[in-house]
């Protein structure tokens, strides 16, 4: 994971369908990058391990949870992770162990596998390394999941920020 003076640091967040957790993580991480003044030095995106929702907007409950906290997820469109995502990104962030296993299975090399991390592994106060899937839950669960993602995304950005800043 290195930052470059000529290229932005690139991160992709990955969950099952790319309509709940990974869009939240992308929007929140992007907010931290923009708020720090480093938005142009960071490129973030999100993707799915499955193809069920390709082309769709984020789940309405995701968009509502984001809006309640002042984020805008309206531009999101779901897509599936491809092997070229390993080439395009410096960091591939899985939202739970099942996504991590799938991504490791898709890794074509040790270099690809070395880019994979669990989002919650960056949050030292996390009680679990898995972000629960809120899809079958209530709006309150979407808010709870967003809170987990905010904490871990903040910790991830704080870890990356010195390298990104020094590459400017």
Q: What is the pLDDT of residues 20-47, one digit of tens each?
A: 999 999 999 999 999 999 999 999 999 9
Catalytic residue flag (residue 21): yes
Query: Is 116 inside a domain boundary?
Result: yes
Number of domains in the chain: 1
Predicted local confidence at residue 3, as pLDDT: 57
Name the percent of the chain lying above pLDDT 70: 96
Task: Tell me if residue 20 is catalytic.
Answer: no
| Residue of 20, 21, 30, 112 marked catalytic | 21
The catalytically annotated residue of 10, 130, 133, 154 is 133
Helix (H) or strand (E) holding 14: strand 9-15
Looking at the domain assignment, is residue 63 inside a domain? yes
Residue 158 pLDDT: 97
CA 162 to mean position of chain CA atoms:
19
69 a catalytic residue: no
Average pLDDT value over all residues in the chain? 96
Domain, as residue range, for 128? 9-162
* Residue 4 located in a structural domain: no
> Are the C-beta atoms of 26 and 45 separated by less than 8 Å?
yes
Q: Which residues pair with 41 in a beta bridge?
A: none
pLDDT tens track for 118-162? 999 999 999 999 999 999 999 999 999 999 999 999 999 999 999
Residue 1 lies in a domain: no
- pLDDT score for 44: 97
């Amino acid at each position: 994971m290195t930052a470059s003076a000529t290229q932005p640091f690139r991160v992709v967040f990955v969950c099952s369908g790319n309509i709940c957790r990974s869009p939240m993580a992308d929007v929140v991480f992007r907010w931290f990058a923009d708020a720090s003044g480093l938005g142009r030095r960071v490129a973030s995106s999100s993707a799915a391990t499955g193809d069920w929702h390709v082309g769709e907007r984020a789940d309405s409950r995701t968009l509502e949870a984001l809006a309640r906290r002042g984020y805008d997820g309206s531009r999101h469109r779901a897509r599936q992770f491809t092997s070229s995502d390993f080439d395009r990104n410096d960091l591939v962030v899985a939202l739970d162990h099942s996504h991590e296993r799938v991504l490791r299975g898709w890794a074509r090399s040790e270099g690809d596998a070395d880019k994979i991390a669990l989002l919650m592994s960056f949050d030292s106060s996390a009680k679990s390394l898995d972000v629960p899937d809120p899809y079958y839950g209530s709006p309150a669960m979407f808010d709870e999941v967003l809170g987990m993602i905010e904490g871990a995304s903040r910790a991830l950005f704080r870890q990356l920020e010195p390298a990104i800043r020094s590459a400017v």
